[in-house]
Amino acid sequence: MLDLRAATYGQVLFLDEIKVQNFGTPGYDWDNVGWVAKTYTDFLRGLGTKEELVA
């Protein structure tokens, strides 16, 4: 997920599990969100090159 909140704009986040219930309900909230990268550019830098992925 790409964070669009003003204080943390551009951070890349992930949900540890996709559920049928709405986000924000008890047991399915920000405690289920993990952090991947501070910026989208940092996220892309961490992916590696095509050659590295093939190897």
Read off the pLDDT of residues 1-55 as tens digits, 9 standing for 90 and up.
999 999 999 999 999 888 899 999 998 998 999 999 999 889 988 887 778 777 7
pLDDT at residue 34 in the model: 94
- Residue 45: the pLDDT is 85
What local confidence, expressed as pLDDT, does residue 4 receive?
A: 93
Instruction: Look at the chain and report how many structural domains it folds into.
Output: 1
* Range 27-32 contact pairs with CB under 8 angstroms and sequence separation of 24 or more: none
pLDDT of 37: 95
pTM, 2 dp = 0.67
Domain-located, residue 1:
no
Per the structure, the complete domain to which residue 16 belongs is given by 6-54
Looking at 1-55, list the stretches that DSSP marks H as alpha helix, in order from N- to C-terminal side.
Answer: 40-45, 50-54
Contact 29, 17 (CB under 8 A): no
Rounded to 5 degrees, φ, ψ at 41 are -65, -45
Tell me, what's the pLDDT at 49? Answer: 78
Does residue 11 lie in a domain region?
yes
